[in-house]
Amino acid sequence: MRGSAASDGSVWSRLPHELGDAVRPRIPEIARACIDAIAAEIPEYSRSFARGPERAVAVERARRGIERDVDRVGTPWMWQADRLAGFRGHGREAFHNGLSREAVQAAVRVSSRVTWRWIADIAREAGLSGDVLYGAAEGMFADVETSMAAVAEGYSAAEAAVAGTGERHRRLLRAVLGGRMPAAETFPELDGLIAASGLPVPERVAAVAFRALPGAPEFPPGLLPEHVPADPAGDPPAALTPAPDVDLAGLAGLPPGWTAAVGPLVPPSDAPESFRIARRAVDLAARGLLDAPGPVIWCRDHVTTLLLLADEFLVAQLATTTLEPLSGLSGRRREQLAETLLALVRTRGSAPELGRQLDLHPQTIRARLKKLAELFGDRLDDPGERLRLELALLAEQALPDQG
C-alpha cells in the first residue's frame, strides 16, 4: 500500500527537477548552516557542535540527510521508510549520548527551518514560481512532523530498553563529562537525565578518574555510595560527586593496582574540565611525577605541579633555557647551586637566613651565592627573572629527567 503525502514524499515528487538541480550544489553550505544554528540555539549541542570531530560528523550527517531529501524532488513515490528509520536512529543515539528528547526534537525543527530558508532563497534566485515555493514549504512542514515523531519513537524505545540505576548513572556520566549537561536556567525541569538519575541538581561537582593496572582485581563493591554516578570499569572509567570528601572516603580501600584522581569542584557545565584534570593527574602519577600518600590523588593538593606540567614540552624548554648557566656544572655541584638558587629567589634571604633554611654553614652559602652571582648576574635582582628562575627550578624538580 502506498503511504500518504506526508510519509511517501509525493509532495516532493510533484516539484520540478530544476529545484533539485539548483539546490544540490549548495548542500554542503546548507549543512554547515544547519549545524551552526543548532549549536547556537540549543545549549545541549553547543559544546559538541562548535568545533572538532563531533562537528565534522554532524555536518556530514546533515549533508547526507539534505541530499537524500533533495533526491526526492521530481521522483514519483519515493518511499520514506529509510529516512524515518534514520530519524529513529537519531532518537536512540541521542538517548544513549545523554541528550534530552526536547533537545533532539528542537534540532530537527532548527535544521528544517534553516534548510527551508536556503531552499526558498535558491528557488527565487533560480526564478522558480511561487507554486514551487509553496510545494517545497508543504513538503518541508510535512517532513518536520514525521521526523519529530520518528525521533520520539526511537528515543522512547531506547529509554524503555534501559533498566536500573546503574545504567542511568552511566548515561549521566557520559552526558556530563561529554559536556552535554543542560544548564538549570535553560532547562529548569531537568526531567531528562538528572531526574532519571534520582539526583538533585548540584551547584558544583567533582569528577573522578580511575586507572587500573593490568591484572588488578575488579573494582570492589561498596566503596562508593549508591547515589554516586560511577562507572569505574567504563570507557572512560569515571565517577561524579557534589561532595567528594564525604562520598569518596571509601576509595581509601582501593585494592593494589587501582588509582583514583579527584578533579576540582566546579559548576556542572565545567565537569569535563574537572575530569580532564583528574585524568591528567592519574597519568602523571603513573609516570611517578605526582606523589600521593595512598591510592587517591586529590588534584587540589597538586595544583602547582599540574599547572607546571600542563604543557611538558614548554616547561622543559623553560627549564633548559632559563637554567642554561648551570649546564656546565657537574651533577652534584649543579644540584647544590640549584637548591641554593631556589631558596634565594623564593626568600631573598641573607646568607645566615639561607643557611638556617638549608641547614648549612653561612660561609658555605656565601660561597654558593658568589658563584650564582657570577653565573646569573643582574638576573638575580630582577623580579621577573626571579619568577622565571623559580618556575624553571620547580619544573626541573617535577620533570627530573630535564636536569
Based on the domain organization, do 127 and 10 belong to the same domain? yes
The confidence score (pLDDT) of residue 279 equals 92
Do 291 and 340 belong together in one domain?
no
Q: Do 337 and 280 lie in a common domain?
A: no
3-class DSSP state of 230: strand
- Whether residue 249 lies inside any domain: the answer is yes
Does residue 187 lie in a domain region? Answer: no
Whether the pLDDT of residue 80 is over 70: the answer is no
The DSSP result for 130-144, as a single string, is: HHHHHHHHHHHHHHH
φ/ψ (deg, to 5) at 361: -70, 140
Share of the chain above pLDDT 90, in %: 15
Cell of 366: 656565601
Task: Give residue-wise pLDDT tens across range 145-179.
Answer: 888 888 888 887 676 655 455 666 677 777 767 65
What is the dihedral angle through the alpha carbons of 126, 129, 131, 136, rounded to the nearest 10 degrees? 10
What is the DSSP secondary-structure string of 84-120?
HHHHHHHHHHHHHTT--HHHHHHHHHHHHHHHHHHHH
Q: Do the domain assignments include residue 307?
A: no
Residues whose CB is less than 8 angstroms from the CB of residue 305 and which lie 6 or more positions away in sequence, other chains included: 284, 289, 290, 398
- Cα–Cα dist 140/60, whole Å: 20
Phi, psi dihedrals of residue 360, rounded to the nearest 5°: -130, 160
The answer on 68 and 127 residing in a single domain is yes
| Domain co-membership, 14 together with 102 | yes
More confident residue, 261 or 350: 261
Which pairs from 59-62 meet CB under 8 Å and 24+ separation? 59/28, 59/31, 59/32, 59/35, 60/31, 62/30, 62/31, 62/34, 62/35, 62/111
Question: For the chain, what is the domain count?
Answer: 3
- In this structure, the answer to whether residues 296 and 328 fall within a common structural domain is no
Segments forming the whole domain that contains residue 204: 198-301
Please indicate, yes or no, whether residues 157 and 251 belong to a single structural domain of this protein: no
> Is 169 part of any domain?
no
Q: Determine the 3-state secondary structure of 191 from DSSP.
A: coil
The band of 183, judged by pLDDT with boundaries at 50, 70 and 90, is: very low
Same domain, 272 and 343: no
Whether residues 242 and 114 fall in one domain: no
Domain termination residue (choose one: 243, 271, 301) = 301
Write down the residue that cell numbers 638549608 correspond to: 358
Q: Is the pTM of this model over 0.85?
A: no
173 found inside a domain? no
183 lies in a domain? Answer: no
Residues 261 and 341 in one domain: no
The answer to whether residues 275 and 338 belong to one domain is no
Residues 13 and 123 in one domain: yes
